[in-house]
Amino acid sequence: MLTTIEGKRFLVEKDDNIDVVISTIDNNFNISSDSFQSNMEFLKKALAVDEIGYSRQIHSTIVNRWDGEIKEGDALVCENKNTAIGVFTADCVPILIYSKNKNVIAAVHSGWRGTFENILKKTIDKIYSCYGEIELNAVIGPHIKKCCYEVSEELIDKFKSIDYLKDRNINNGRNLDLTAIIKIQLENLNVKTIKDLSMCTYCSESIKFHSYRKEKENSGRIFSTIVIR
């Protein structure tokens, strides 16, 4: 659902006590931009949360448990109510994971490297190690879709060399389908429900997003966040 907060548009998905909130092109959450801190303060107030957790993302498979300290990594897990955690993207895939009955959330940044190395498995392994094996749900946020994601044949072959992808439809020629791969990974990890918001950061017209492939070094960043109420 598209929601406007003080003139800025956000995508909002609710599931009982879980809120997923994703920024659009109306805000720039590039951590190196001059507006970053003011935008984070705006979001903290808009979400009415005690704090917002995020990482210094490095295209890794490092998963951290949020403890109030900003660390290098590309996924966060958290059990604190009224604390939002999130990831920055501009074509990569944001995945927001949650358990309603155990009040556990996770935010994952999965570009092609993180997808190839299955950061989702490492995230869910971290959840299980911290909280036990619990029922999980996932929301896949806006990212570059197969329609616009042309890559090298070598990268296509790299993904097709993975056992669980060998016989799966993950490309159209040189266009790689990160969505399909993410869904396969989530299904293999027994995630109960998977909701894909089905929006392409590169070509969406009705709602526009930051896209590094389109804007290059001038690109801003989307912030995809999740909070337990």
pLDDT value, residue 218: 87
pLDDT value, residue 199: 97
Own/partner long-range contacts of 209-216 (Cβ < 8 Å, ≥24 apart): 209/24, 209/25, 209/90, 209/142, 210/25, 210/28, 210/90, 211/90, 211/91, 211/144, 212/90, 212/91, 213/91, 213/144, 213/148, 213/149, 215/90
* Cβ count within 10 A of residue 137: 17
Number of domains in the chain: 1
CATH of the domain at 194: 3.60.140.10
**What span, in angstroms and rounded, lies between the C-alpha atoms of 97 and 37?**
25
pLDDT value, residue 50: 94
pLDDT value, residue 101: 85
Domain around 93 = 2-228
pLDDT value, residue 10: 97
* Cβ count within 10 A of residue 123: 25
Strand (E) positions, the chain?
2-5, 8-15, 18-23, 51-53, 63-65, 75-78, 83-89, 93-99, 104-110, 137-140, 171-172, 175-176, 193-196, 222-228
pLDDT value, residue 5: 84
* Cβ count within 10 A of residue 47: 19
pLDDT value, residue 100: 87
Per-residue pLDDT of the chain (229 residues; tens, 9 = 90+): 899 988 899 999 999 999 999 999 999 999 999 999 999 999 999 999 999 999 999 999 999 999 999 999 999 999 999 999 999 999 999 999 999 889 999 999 999 999 999 999 999 999 999 999 999 999 999 999 999 999 999 999 999 999 999 999 999 999 999 999 999 999 999 999 999 999 999 999 999 999 999 999 889 999 999 999 9
**What span, in angstroms and rounded, lies between the C-alpha atoms of 227 and 144?**
24
- Write the CB contacts of 127 (distance below 8 Å, at least 6 apart in sequence): 77, 97, 99, 104, 106, 134, 136
79 DSSP assignment: -
**What span, in angstroms and rounded, lies between the C-alpha atoms of 108 and 136?**
14
